[in-house]
Amino acid sequence: ERAAADGNGIEPQDVDVLKLLYLVRYVDDIKATLDNIVILMADDIRLDKITMRGKVQSSLDRLFSQSYIGRTGDVYNFLTDEEQDIAREIRNTPVDSAAITQRISDLIFGDIYTTKKFRFGSKYDFPFDQMVDGMANGTLTGGMKLRFLTVATDPTEKQELRLMAGSGGQAIVVLAENPYY
């Protein structure tokens, strides 16, 4: 409540959401999903759930960004002081985006899609360049390309018109915009 009163990144409504998450933390029968939180926050049967859903989502986003709560998939959970400290340390740890992109590339082209050549008909094999977020995986042949664009790619690069205009000789796969994996 002091953080909301002092304007430290959260608002008074966020405190109510945080209290609710604290109350349901150890109740196994209630999953703290967005829809369940909206229902539990309702104080009147005539409540506009769509509006309330937006407000609760904003509160959850603020609480998550300030490390008051955690998220596992669609389920939110209250974090104790110790868990908050750990979450802040994790958030403040520098991340090498090139290493992450390389790991994604290794997963895609090493484990998921291991084919190195495109087969046309029964006797023509064509090698293709493998790319993730503009980084090449292996040597570039200058021919066909298979490009994967992740959430780390600049959103302007993923605009449909831009993708269509620049897709000659390449297949482009745009991965979901979900930053939580």
Identify the structural domains of the chain with CATH numbers, from first to last: 2-91 (1.10.10), 97-174 (no CATH)
Q: What is the average pLDDT value for the chain, to the nearest integer?
A: 83
117-132 b/e (C-beta count within 10 Å ≥ 16 → b) = eeeeeeeeeeebbbbb
Question: Residue 36: what pLDDT?
Answer: 93
pLDDT at 102 over 70: yes
Over residues 137-149, the pLDDT tens digits come to 877 777 788 888 8
Could you read off the pLDDT of 27-82 as tens digits, one per residue? 889 899 999 999 999 888 888 899 999 999 999 999 998 889 999 889 999 999 89
